[in-house]
Structure 1
Amino acid sequence: MGAKKYLEIVLTQYGYSFENPPPQEVVDQLKIEYAEWMPAFCYEEPMSKYCEGVPSYYMYRIALAPNVLFVALFGLALIAFMATFAATRRGLAFNIAMGLGVLTEVVGYIGRIMSWTNQWEESGFMIQVCALTTAPAFLAAAIYLCIRQIVTAFEPKNSRIPPEWYTRIFIPCDLTSLVLQAVGGALASVAHHRNESTSTGDNVMLAGLAFQVFTMLLFMAVAADFGLRTYLRARGAHLPNLSLTLDNHPAMVCLRASRRFKAFLVALSLATVCIFARCIFRVIELSGGWTGPLMARQDLFIAFEGAMIATAVLALNVFHPAFCSKELLNPPPRREIVRRERSEQPAFKMVNFIIDENEVAAQDAAQDTTQDTTQRDPAQEV
């Protein structure tokens, strides 16, 4: 017997029906008395008025507008990252990391839209949990890829570790947190589907989030140390222009002095802080369990999960390193180099095809004069 048919029988016992619904106080009484199977009824009839206040996978009614907005924003960001790489052919690893993160965000908010249509359906809930939990790890990896080039742009001697070791340290740590979060989400999903305790999966997911917070905190500390050492070196040299105390290569001096590079540094810092704040929120939220107080705050979820990540993505979208620090990224493809070399060749071959009649007449006259001179008898000149 379906849950809807069962509720119809119960309403008949109270002297009511779906066509002749009971008053609200009777509905509230039914929700309490038959609380165990009401979620099954709401799974079949999610839009029924009898489902208002019935516990679901969420502790609030999902708002549709913010989730649609985030799908649109992250979808446009994904297109922008793809278009930027197609136009510049620079920053492949950065674009891949950002693209994966943004794509995962889109999938996560699609899962929430699925839950808006039916909050008692499991697939949409698990999609948004797994996707939105792991997506910022890809974005953090993109940020870690940038620090190596930034250290090179200033002066590697100011860093306590070589530039190449930034990616060797932080990328594996980020991948570790990503794997922990993914495994934890999978374990929780399987346990929930079997009506078993999800504590093991929750703890693994929480460990992944906590390790991500630790990694980002260490990253910010190392980056701040590099910035402080660079500043102290400049101040110790008593030079007002910071670039004069650093790498004096003309390309690096021009890059550091450019507004686009300074804007990129601000955008990268903003993105780092936003992702870090989001990770702290998710750790606190998940530590309280799926029925904790923060799980019931949709406004905080939108602010710290959606808005923070959207701000980080937008900042790196607008101030993309392919435009703002292109000198530090991979050179353009060989095809462009060959085209540029050909364009820089002297144009003397083209000039040979341009004939000036006056110039030709002058050359012929000069040639005749030379021939007359050589044909004269030297004895006659004496």
Structure 2
Amino acid sequence: MSTHTDSSNYGYTPSVAWCSVFIALFSLSGLLHIYQAWRAKYWVIFPTLVIGAAVEVLGWSGRLWSSQNVLLLTPFLMQISTLILAPCFFSAWDYVLLGSAIAKLGPQYSLLRPRWYFIVFITADLISIVLQAVGGGQASSSAAEGAPTQSATDIMVAGIIFQLISMVVFVSLGLDFILRATQKRPYAFQARRIAAEQSRVGNIEAGTGNTLESSTSMSRSASDQILQEKPARANELNGTVRQWWILLGAALISSAMIICRGVYRSIELKQGWEGYLITHEIYQSLLDGIPMLIAVGVFNVIHPSYLLPKKRSWKSYHLEE
């Protein structure tokens, strides 16, 4: 593959000022996350927010490199691939945060079980990453060599739209959980499932040989208690509910930024490699750089270690033990 092209792949020369600012701010956020994660024993921040910030730094470094020689192909490919993939790492942290909140505040208010948020949406992110990586690599290489890019670009757009849809579904489920938890409206089928699990655990711990009939009766009784929101449970959570709502507010801000960026990227790429959005740098900075900076930086300010009881060990990814 050639290392040079005959003209700018961007349609402009990337601004040194914009690139330098984003490199500095993403680096600062990433380093601060490393310190916060180490201090608070939140290991899951490393493969999510920290790596995401590092990928953003690589992307903007590629653009800075291009500003010195806009004809080089390597930095162009570098920034395309990294800046497209970085949001997947930020969204992964949002999934962990919502799953942990549901596990603590009440699985009965959620359509999905807590662990399924991580499993389902991380899988969706992986599919999106593969599509975007394959399409982005093919499209940028073809564009640099003057070959047709439409089919490769369509693959990349499909990956971005897939990620966009999964984030919209995720936010919808998160808002549904928040509304139901606030209004004390649990899902009946989840209440029955939780009650049945509690009944089985109780029988095992007691070492009793309860009949199916008595076990079912106990399960129904526990289900009724969950559906009626026992006052003792509500009082137990009063001390941390507000803190969790603040954390979920931060996750909502982060997710909204990822969605906004996805809408911009989809329109940009549908316009083509010579379209208006992709050939004007201001949109890259305002609709990709700034939203992603907010998506990762909001958790430097609204951090679980500032709001929740201190973790005692590195085990598990749950934010409160």
C-alpha distance in 1, partners of 2:166/2:231?
Answer: 31
- 1:57 maps to 9
Q: Verify: 1:80 aligned to 2:32, yes or no.
A: yes
Q: If the length of structure 2 is used for normalisation, what is the TM-score?
A: 0.77
Task: Tell me the CA shift for residue 192 of structure 1.
Answer: 4.3
- 1:268 maps to 251
Question: Structure 1, residues 282-306: CA drift from partner, whole Å, max 9, x if none?
Answer: 0010111110111122222111111
Which structure has more relative contact order (CA 8 Å, sep 6+)? It is: 2
Task: Tell me the CA shift for residue 70 of structure 1.
Answer: 0.3
- 1:285 maps to 268
Question: Structure 1, residues 74-127: CA drift from partner, whole Å, max 9, x if none?
Answer: 11111111111221212x123321111111100000000011111121111111
* Runs of at least 5 residues in structure 2 that lack an aligned partner in the other structure: 186-228, 316-321
Equivalent pairs: percent with the same residue? 28
- 2:183 maps to 232
C-alpha distance in 2, partners of 1:322/1:332?
Answer: 13
Contact in 2 for aligned 1:159/1:226 (Cα 8 Å): yes
Q: Verify: 1:125 aligned to 2:110, yes or no.
A: no
Task: Tell me the CA shift for residue 333 of structure 1.
Answer: 5.0
* Runs of at least 5 residues in structure 1 that lack an aligned partner in the other structure: 1-38, 41-54, 235-242, 335-382
Question: Structure 1, residues 126-170: CA drift from partner, whole Å, max 9, x if none?
Answer: 111111011111111111111111112321111122112111211
Contact in 2 for aligned 1:153/1:247 (Cα 8 Å): no
C-alpha distance in 2, partners of 1:107/1:293?
Answer: 25
Contact in 2 for aligned 1:153/1:256 (Cα 8 Å): no
Q: Verify: 1:152 aligned to 2:103, yes or no.
A: yes
C-alpha distance in 2, partners of 1:286/1:125?
Answer: 15
Contact in 2 for aligned 1:267/1:319 (Cα 8 Å): yes
Equivalenced residues, count:
269
Q: Return the letter of the residue paired with 2:142.
A: A
Contact in 1 for aligned 2:125/2:163 (Cα 8 Å): yes
C-alpha distance in 1, partners of 2:9/2:259?
Answer: 27
Equivalences for residues 9-28 of structure 1 within 5 A: none
Contact in 2 for aligned 1:271/1:312 (Cα 8 Å): yes
Contact in 2 for aligned 1:154/1:247 (Cα 8 Å): no
Q: If the length of structure 1 is used for normalisation, what is the TM-score?
A: 0.65
Q: Verify: 1:71 aligned to 2:23, yes or no.
A: yes
Q: Higher Cα Rg: structure 1 or 2?
A: 1
C-alpha distance in 2, partners of 1:245/1:171?
Answer: 36
- Assess, with a 3 A threshold, how the Cα gap between structure 1 residues 223 and 245 changes in structure 2: closer, same or farther: farther
C-alpha distance in 1, partners of 2:23/2:36?
Answer: 20
Contact in 1 for aligned 2:9/2:143 (Cα 8 Å): no
SS at match of 1:296: coil
SS at match of 2:118: helix
- 1:200 maps to 151
Runs of 4+ in 1 over 3 A off after TM superposition: 189-195, 243-250
C-alpha distance in 1, partners of 2:231/2:98?
Answer: 20
- Assess, with a 3 A threshold, how the Cα gap between structure 1 residues 190 and 231 changes in structure 2: closer, same or farther: same
- 2:194 maps to none
- 1:301 maps to 284
Equivalences for residues 150-189 of structure 1 within 5 A: 150-189=101-140
C-alpha distance in 2, partners of 1:155/1:184?
Answer: 40
- Assess, with a 3 A threshold, how the Cα gap between structure 1 residues 288 and 232 changes in structure 2: closer, same or farther: same
- Assess, with a 3 A threshold, how the Cα gap between structure 1 residues 277 and 314 changes in structure 2: closer, same or farther: same
